[in-house]
Structures are given as structure tokens and as C-alpha cells.
Structure 1
Amino acid sequence: MSTTTQMKKPTPASSKQIQTVYGILFAISGSHLINDSIQSVVPAMNPIFEQTLNLSFAQIGWIAFVLNMTASVMQPVFGYFSDKRPAPFLLPVGMFMSTLGLIGFALSPSFSMILMSVFFIGIGSAVFHPEGSRVAYMAAGTKRGLAQSIYQVGGNFGQSLAPVFTALIFVSLGQKGALLFTIVTMIGIILLLNVSRWYKRQIQEGSFSRKNRMKAQQATAPIHKKIKTAMGLLVFLVFARSFYVAGINNFYQFYLIEDYGLTVRHAQLYVFIFMFAGVLGTFFGGPLADRFGRRNMIFLSMAGAAPLTVILPFVPLPLIIPVFFIIGFIILSSFSVSVVYAQELLPQKVGMVSGLIVGLAFGMGAVGAVLLGTLADIFSIRFVMILCGLLPFVGILTWMLPSDEKVRELTSSS
């Protein structure tokens, strides 16, 4: 009897590993919402800048490039160093840097000053995301897909607010309306200070103690060749998805204005539908992947959306919203799943791979924004939308990724 009791009684460390800490997950998700809402202020301002500063499509693409590439390049760098030495209080520091960039963005009188301000917003995001993913990983317990979905859905919802900001704030208040968001970032800093205290306690007390980190650092076994190949293919798939989303987020509103005759305010509704559907897809994608497999969800999210993305530029106006909603839901259902799949490929480098995959989504979106903006200037917005519709077909290559069971075998043997 006593033996049975001892077997059932978990140690404090093990119970911390198993328990899903929903309070922390919702707090980091809310902080993610605030962080990405600040980023969404930048594309929300694009139609305003086009009119007030007479920016070309290529210049609008460069604004997105500076924002997204900064986050892309620096996220895996911060993640790499935080894997070696976690820094809980980088979370509020990142939010503070975004606040400085936001103030500069609201007051910038020229294109060059806008780029400088956007650089600070990008750095703030690069600091936040790897540590935010690590907090979600630490608080997940056994529900990694669900935990990553809760975390990522906050960010995707924040990004989805860009067209709402344009329609409700910037059309009326113009550029200086961005100053209103400094109130939101102050709330975010306070929230992240509380998350950082919890994070610090886990490092000191739990399974992420210094002793365990040293053991992880001592694991110098070479990475299996199949894992490297899988990471490369996963990066390529994220590249294609991010290219498509960048085309929609940055330029589809102009397509609606030019080809369908919508106003700036009205066009924002359609983009919001796509992005809000992506929020729902992100949330449900994680739990579905826990049940049906990571690789299966990644395949479905890309190849499943492809037929609809091809026909989108040709559908009549009344059908755009339902088609757009389904595309957004399906194609972004793999957003959090891709992160979890990468973490399971390289479980000792959670911060680095989280920064790589999430940062890559920003970075490839940046490259896509510049390239697609240049093509729109040379050809037309319609040409760009048709081209974007072909990108999800590369999702067929997902079947070359190792299955979830194979990933566990590879990581246990390496």
C-alpha cells in the first residue's frame, strides 16, 4: 500500500513539468497580442502614407522589409543566446523598445525617419518572440500544440487588427493616431513584468534550472542528417506560406480598390476577414495537430488552401468574403504547428528554432513585400495576386517531411 502511494505521489519538479499553466499562457498570449498589434500599426498606415507622402508600392514594400527583416534576422540570434542563458526580463525590454519605435513612427516627417522608427519596432519584436515561445513551451505541460496555439493566436489576432486600425483610427486621425497605442504598450510592459517573475522562478526551481541547462549544453552529439533535411524543407514551406500572407496583408487592399472600386475604409473589412479567419485557424490548428499529427496539419494548411487561392482573384465581389475566410482559416492553421514541429526536431534548441520559424515568417514576408511591391509597380496589382495564388501548391512537398513518429525516433537516437 505504501509502495503504491509513493509511486503515485509526484515530486514537485515532475508536477511542474506535467502541469499546464493556463494563467501564464493567457498572459503571454495577451502580451503577444499587444506586441503584434504594434507591428500591425505599420501596414495599417500604408494607405495613409500612400496618399500623404506619395509613396510608391515599392517604398511601401521597403517599410515592410525593414520591419520584418529586422525581426527575422535578430529573432534566431536572441533565441540562440537565450538557449544558453535565458533572460526573463528581456520580455518587457522588448516591449519598451517597440514603444520607442512607435513614438518615432507617429511623429516621423519623412520616409527615412519612418524606416528608422520601424527598425526599433522590429528589434522589439525580435527580443520578445523567442522568449515568449520559451514561456509557452515551459507552461505547456503535455499540451504543446494547444499551448503554442494559445500563445500564437494572441499574435495573429494582433496582426489581424491592422485593417481595423486603418478604418477606425488612421483614416480619421492620420499618422499621429499611432500615439494612442503607447497606452497599450505600457499595459503590456506591466503584464510582461509579471510573466518574467514567473519565468525567473521556473529557472531557479524547476526543470529549467541551471543544472539542467548545463546538461543540455553538454549534449554535443551531432544532429542527424535527416533532421537537418527536415528543418530545411520546413523553412522552405514557411517561406512559401509567408510570401502568400505578405501579398494579402500588404497589397490585397489595393487590388480591391483598383479592380473592384472599393474605398480605403471598405477594403479594410475584407483584409480583416482574412486575418481574423487566420486567428481562428491558428487556435484550432494546434489542438488538431495534437490529435491528428503535426505533419498532417502542415500539409492540409497549404495544399488544402491552394485551389481557393488560385480562384480568389477571379471571384465576384459577393463571394470574396466566404472564400477569403476559408483561405485564411486553412492556410494559417499551421502557424503554431510549424513552431511545435521545429521544437520537436531540435528539442535542445527551443529558443533558436522558435526564433527561426516565427522570425522566418516575418523575414520572408519582408522579402515578399519588396518583391511583390516591385512587381506591382512594373506590371499590376492583379498580376501579383494571380502569382500569389500559386504559392500554396508547394505544400505538396510536406509529405517529404518525416512523420511525427519518425521525428521522435530521430531525436531519441541523436
Structure 2
Amino acid sequence: MRRNTSIVLLSVGHACVDIYQGAVAALVPFFIAERAYAYSVASGIVLAASLLSSVAQPVFGALTDRWAMPWLLPVSTLLGGVGIALSGLSGSYPLTLAFVAISGLGVAAYHPESARVARIAGQGSHRAMSWFSTGGTIGFALAPPMVAAVMATGGLSRTPLLAVPALAGAAICLPVVRALRRGQAAGSRMTVPAGSDDTASFVKLSLAVAFRSIAFIGLSTFISLYARQRLGGGTAAGTAALTVLYLGGAIGSVLGGSLAARWDRVTVSRWSYLITAAAIAGVVWVPGPALFLFVALTSGGLYVPFSLQVTLGQDYLPSRVGTAGGITLGLAVSIGGLAGPALGSLADATSLHTALAPLVLMPVLSWLLLRTLSEPDVPRPRTEAPAREDAADAALGPTPADSR
């Protein structure tokens, strides 16, 4: 399988999985409408998906650094879809939390292995990783209109229809899994520099990603309700705002890879966070339809550094790329959901406007952390394969742990 084909398939598969991350926030207004949940109770649903995912991602990252587990791609995709499909079938709040948590576990299992495979398939290319990240962003963007369309057919009882992307995503993963197995059978090897981990920089980067995540998940949880309150446009206004928040990220992800080719990744990420802070301030305080413009700017600003941070994390921890990918692509992103109940409680006690205001500070904190970082000088991974193998096939070899 050629490199471009592998990246395309991985990107589409990533979209199918991240639909279920976006679906959690997209379902919140419908849980509130049908079950009369308070903001804090509804945000607990987002917390359920994030909490288990946050605990599980480092575990899966460590496992994928030790053993190649490409079978996780289709299995975790199905698990993510099944959880969301079942979430609307029971009126029981604990069962709803359990099903959403199952979906979060599937998402947690997917990201470390997929980040490892994408790095190998793209041969360490920043642009390849940006396309892979863009796939996930598109999945986020597709979630609100998809959820709205399904809910329009019969409300929460129709959530089983949301399993369709998981079935498609699992099928798309299979050719990549087969290519990985062929590469392993051919004896291809992936080499990484030994003893070059920069753990301190990686921790700072992870904290920056976590602050970014608090801003993104806080907005994705409440922007739909906030737009409906601010603009009085009903469900359509809320769905549009959430879609803009997710779709703008697709542009930001691709732009990030292009900007990093001209400037270094750390510099691009710093400027992006400064712009994001101003954009979130516009979301909170600028009145009228300009809300959509500032939501789009916020989305782009949050996603320009997203794929860059994934590759930065892998370059700070070159001997543990599964762990690095699991944290920067998964754990640090999921951890933002832990702030959801606090924002929900603040919204219940005051207003959504007041609850969203602290989010302006999150990208500022990310910017401060990135000021302490420098571009890592780490050699790119090299694939060593038998001469009879095509170089693109060899790019889908075993894990770094296999070569050791």
C-alpha cells in the first residue's frame, strides 16, 4: 500500500472515530430537552466520556509502545460507535453515563495506536500528521449535523442509527491492518534514536494541550446552547455554531502543517494561542451574528497547533511514540472534559455567559507554557526494509519496540 493511500485511509478512519467525540457534546442539548437535565447534570455526560478515556489512554499508549496492536483500530472504532448508539435508549442516567463511558474507552484505545501507525505511514512528515489530524477534525464537524438529523427522526430513541460511521470506519481500517501485517512479515524495521527523550519538555507541552482542551471542550459542550440564547435562532442556530466550531478546525489543522513548513512548530503554536485568546473573548463579549465569525476564528486558532503538538510530543519522546501520541492526541484532549461539571455548575448558578468567560484564560496559559519550549532537534524515524520491498510498504512496519 502506498504512503498516500495509507494516510487517506487513516484520516477517514480517524474521522469515523472522532464523530463519537463530537457526538457526545452534540447530544447534550437533546438530553436537556427530553430529560430536563440541569447544565451540571448534562455536562456529567461529557465527563463520563472524558474520565474513562483519560485514565485508559496512557495505558493503551504504553501497550502500543511494547507491542504492535493494529487490530485495535477496527475494534476500538466499533466500541466507540456502540456506546453512543446505546446512550439514548435508556432513560436511566447511570446507564447513559455507562454507555457514553464505553464509547470513550473505544476512543481511548484508538488514538495511541493510530498515532503510531500514522507516524510510520507518513515517515515522520508533519504534513502527513496534519492530514491525519484533519480527518479527526472533520469527524468532529460532521457530528452535530449528523446527530441533529438523527434526532429529527425520533429523538434519543434513534441513537442506534449513529452506529453507521463506526461500521464504515472499521471496514476502512482493515486494509491498513493487512498492510501492517505484510510489513511485519517482510521484516521491515523502524529505527528511532535511543536515549533522546526530553520528558520535561513533553510534560510542559502536555499541560499546554490540556489547557487548550479545557477551552475547546468547554465551548463544544455549551456553544450550541449559548448561540441559541444569544441569537434566538432555536436548534438551527445552536447546531450551526457547533458545526462552525468543529469545521473551522479542519482548515486550522491543514494550515498548521503548511505554516510549520515555513516557521517552526513551537513558534506557530505560540502565535495561534494568542489569536485564540482574542477570538474567545469575541465569542463571549461581542454581540450579534458576529458570534459565528469569532467561533470560526477560535476553532482555527485551537486547531492550527493541534497536529503540530502531536508530532512535537513524539519528537520529545522518540522512544515512546505510542505513549506520546496517546497523551497529546488523546489524554490531554480528554482531560478538558473534567472541567465540564465545574463550568456547568457555574452556568446553573449564574449564566452561560459567565461560565464561558474563564475560557479566555486557557489559551493564554498554553502560550505561557510554550514560551518555555524550543523546537526539538530529533532525527526523523528511518525505515529499514529488505530491498525487494517497496519503500512505501516498508513505511508500515512494526513498532519501535519491535526493532529493539
Range class of TM-score, shorter chain = 0.7 to 0.9
State which of 113, 129, 149 in structure 1 corresponds to 2:130.
Answer: 149
Match of 1:160 in 2: 141
CA distance in structure 2 between the partners assigned to 1:45 and 1:96 by the alignment: 19
CA distance in structure 2 between the partners assigned to 1:24 and 1:266 by the alignment: 37
Change in Cα spacing, 1:291 to 1:298, as seen in structure 2 (3 Å) is: same
CA contact (8 A) 2:218 2:359 kept: yes
State which of 82, 98, 121 in structure 2 corresponds to 1:139.
Answer: 121
Q: 1:72-97, CA deviations, whole angstroms, 9 ceiling, x for partnerless residues?
A: 22122111111111111121111222
State which of 192, 198, 211 in structure 2 corresponds to 1:240.
Answer: 211
TM-superposed deviation, 1:190: 1.5
Match of 2:43 in 1: 61
State which of 271, 289, 306 in structure 2 corresponds to 1:318.
Answer: 289
TM-superposed deviation, 1:261: 2.4
Match of 1:182 in 2: 163
CA contact (8 A) 2:52 2:105 kept: yes
Match of 2:355 in 1: 384
CA distance in structure 2 between the partners assigned to 1:345 and 1:38 by the alignment: 29
Question: TM-score, length-normalised on structure 2?
Answer: 0.88
TM-superposed deviation, 1:154: 0.9
- Structure 2 residue 71 is matched with structure 1 residue 107: no
State which of 119, 125, 130 in structure 1 corresponds to 2:107.
Answer: 125
State which of 230, 247, 254 in structure 1 corresponds to 2:225.
Answer: 254
State which of 255, 262, 281 in structure 2 corresponds to 1:284.
Answer: 255
TM-superposed deviation, 1:207: 4.2
Unaligned runs of 5+ in 1: 1-15, 410-414
CA RMSD for the aligned pairs?
Answer: 2.2
Match of 2:393 in 1: none
Identity %: 27
State which of 71, 76, 80 in structure 2 corresponds to 1:89.
Answer: 71
Match of 1:13 in 2: none
Q: 1:292-339, CA deviations, whole angstroms, 9 ceiling, x for partnerless residues?
A: 111112112211222222232121212122222122112211111100
Match of 1:265 in 2: 236
Match of 1:31 in 2: 13
Letter in 1 for 2:288: L
Match of 1:204 in 2: 185
**What are the within-5 Å matches in structure 2 for residues 42-57 of structure 1?**
42-57=24-39
CA distance in structure 2 between the partners assigned to 1:399 and 1:362 by the alignment: 20
Match of 1:368 in 2: 339
Change in Cα spacing, 1:368 to 1:160, as seen in structure 2 (3 Å) is: farther
CA distance in structure 1 between the partners assigned to 2:25 and 2:302 by the alignment: 20
Unaligned runs of 5+ in 2: 381-404
Q: 1:152-195, CA deviations, whole angstroms, 9 ceiling, x for partnerless residues?
A: 11111111223213433314421133222223222222111211
CA contact (8 A) 2:54 2:331 kept: yes
Question: TM-score, length-normalised on structure 1?
Answer: 0.86
Match of 2:319 in 1: 348
Letter in 2 for 1:374: S
CA distance in structure 1 between the partners assigned to 2:202 and 2:164 by the alignment: 39
CA distance in structure 1 between the partners assigned to 2:57 and 2:171 by the alignment: 22
CA contact (8 A) 1:28 1:151 kept: yes
Letter in 2 for 1:99: G
CA contact (8 A) 2:199 2:317 kept: no
User: How many residues get paired?
Assistant: 379
Q: Secondary structure at the match of 1:304?
A: helix
Match of 2:22 in 1: 40
Letter in 2 for 1:317: G
More helix by share: 1
Q: 1:380-401, CA deviations, whole angstroms, 9 ceiling, x for partnerless residues?
A: 2111121112222121331210
Change in Cα spacing, 1:324 to 1:39, as seen in structure 2 (3 Å) is: closer
